[in-house]
């Protein structure tokens, strides 16, 4: 059972996250040859004040 974790900063719509999870599931099915119901995709969202790039908080970008 493949399990895929995606770490993102908060703020994306439920629709865009659902679409991403479907696309990831389709890619795993295609490339690993497993049935879709065996693929687990989890999105882990972080508050923008808890994430930084280059020392700058996402909340300040």
For the stretch 23-57, pLDDT in tens is 999 999 999 999 999 999 999 999 999 999 999 99
Q: Is 35 a catalytic residue?
A: no
Q: What pLDDT is stored for residue 27 in this prediction?
A: 98
Burial of 52 (0-12, 13-18, 19+ CB in 10 A): middle
Q: How big is the CA angle at 19 (ends 9 and 51), to the nearest 5 degrees?
A: 5
Whole-prediction pTM: 0.89
Segment 1-12, tens digit of pLDDT: 999 999 999 999
Catalytic member of 2, 35, 36, 47: 2
Note the pLDDT of residue 5: 98
């Amino acid at each position: 059972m493949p399990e895929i974790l995606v770490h993102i900063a908060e703020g994306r719509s439920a629709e865009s996250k659902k679409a991403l999870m479907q696309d990831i599931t389709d890619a795993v099915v295609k490339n690993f040859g497993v049935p879709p119901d065996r693929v687990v995709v989890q999105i882990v969202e972080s508050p923008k004040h808890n994430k930084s790039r280059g020392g700058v908080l996402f909340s300040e970008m």
